[in-house]
Amino acid sequence: MNITLERCSARHPSARGQAPAALRELSLKVTSGEQVAVIGPSGAGKTTLLHLLACALQPSEGALQLNGSNPWVLPRSGLQKLRGELFLAPQVPPLPPRQRVVPPLLAGRLPHESRWASVRSLFYPTDIAQAERAL
């Protein structure tokens, strides 16, 4: 799936009142097959960005396009079908800081490892030090 954000602004779904936008004029392009990591401090807008990309939140400004189309012009049933193809899993309960980044980073290697190495890494992760250096 090709994803394009053009000067998107949005507030976190739980923001109240006149809270500032978590994302301001963000432009981003991700082409099919690319792997992207979203890393940043608390309050940087990571969750808001993921809500935008999963079509769980409409941008207050700018445009989101998935495969060249605006998902927000779809009828309700079409938007629900599209959301069924996307996935957003909230972190409940919150993970310790080290587990928030390192395991997903290591998971990016799974398609390039043998089946046995992939299963083994679920119980005994390897190359944690290398992953931490990459950060």
Check whether residue 73 and residue 10 sit in a common domain: yes
Question: What span, in angstroms and rounded, lies between the C-alpha atoms of 118 and 123?
Answer: 10
Instruction: Verify that 56 and 114 share a domain, yes or no.
Output: no
Shared-domain flag, residues 66 and 127: no
Q: Give the pLDDT confidence of 69-123 residue by residue, as tens digits.
A: 999 999 999 998 888 888 777 766 666 666 667 777 777 777 788 888 888 887 8
92: in domain: no
Between CA 43 and CA 13 the distance in angstroms is: 13
Edge-to-edge strand ranges of the sheet holding 3-10: 23-30, 3-10, 61-66
Sequence letter at residue 41:
P
- Specify whether 63 is located in the same domain as 35: yes
Judge whether 90 lies within some domain: no
Q: What pTM value is reported for the model? A: 0.65
Residues 53 and 102 in one domain: no
Tell me the percentage of the chain whose pLDDT exceeds 70. Answer: 92
Query: Which H helix or E strand runs over 28?
Result: strand 23-30
Same domain, 19 and 56: yes
Q: How many beta carbons lie within 10 A of that of residue 47, not counting itself? A: 19
Domain count, the chain: 2
